[in-house]
Amino acid sequence: MWEILWGGRLADVNRIEQRFEALRREARKGLIIYIGAGDPDLETTVALARAFDAAGVDVIELGVPFSDPLADGPVNQLAAQRGLDSGTTPERVLSAVAQLRQDSQIPVVLYIYFNLVHRYGLARFLEHAAAAGVDGLLVLDLPPEEAGEYAALAARAGLCAIHLIAPTTPEDRIQRIVQEGRGFLYYVSREGVTGMQAQLSRSVAERVALIRRHTTLPVAVGFGISDAAQAAEVARGADAVVVGSAVVQRIADRLGRPDMVSHVVEFVKSLATAVKGV
């Protein structure tokens, strides 16, 4: 059904890889924005994604709502709950991506927990995600050591399997993780769950340099980046900056107001200006 409706896409063409290659050629840094899919509804999610594309965002991460989001702090947990309350399911998220693809080619990553993928059916989910226009998956709770079948099926579908590296990840394990990655690597800038922070970890640049000794994949840094100044600081040492909770909080602050999308987009524009100016 998905292939008939949306036509699928070629496995050797991936928007994430194309975007990072363009950024490299132009000597620019990337901006990745996370929002919870279905927060407060999927129509708003699609509207935000389109507006982010126009505002200079390079990749959008859509958090697929889950009842036990163990990697997330309070802000994103509440967004996941709002997504569940609005009736958002994995299948409806794929339908929203397909709708977005009617007029936008912004790269899309699904930020998802493996329970949802497993329940849907691993091979079936990856096939449907690719057909809908998804470009990559960040499966929060699937260690690379246990991701053999997932990684092979994702590659066959043309999807980037994106992996996390933590501040506590030892160097020998970094070497293994980077071999399994595709698209970009996501460095978690601090220990713990997602959430805004007043100060950034002082070890970010050092850890990014360590990762780069073992891979040519772009390194994106996220978790805790709260404003344009912090985004610019991180961009000086990373290939891309990921901002999530600070955006999600602005969605929460404007729930039910007609200016919500424009308010959030103005903040995202400030992030884009900061990152692109580095």
Catalytic residue among 17, 39, 58, 72: 72
Is 72 marked active-site? yes
Assess whether 259 carries a catalytic annotation.
Answer: no
Listing DSSP states for the chain in one string gives -HHHHH----TT--HHHHHHHHHHHTT--EEEEEEETTSS-HHHHHHHHHHHHHHT-SEEEEEPP-S--TT--HHHHHHHHHHHHTT--HHHHHHHHHHHTTT----EEEEE-HHHHHHH-HHHHHHHHHHHT--EEEETT--GGG-HHHHHHHHHHT-EEE-EE-TT--HHHHHHHHHH--S-EEEESSSSSS---SS--TTHHHHHHHHHTT--S-EEEESS--SHHHHHHHHTTSSEEEE-HHHHHHHHHTTT-TTHHHHHHHHHHHHHHHHHT-
Looking at 61, 127, 135, 233, which residue is catalytic? Answer: 61
Q: Which residues are catalytic?
A: 61, 72
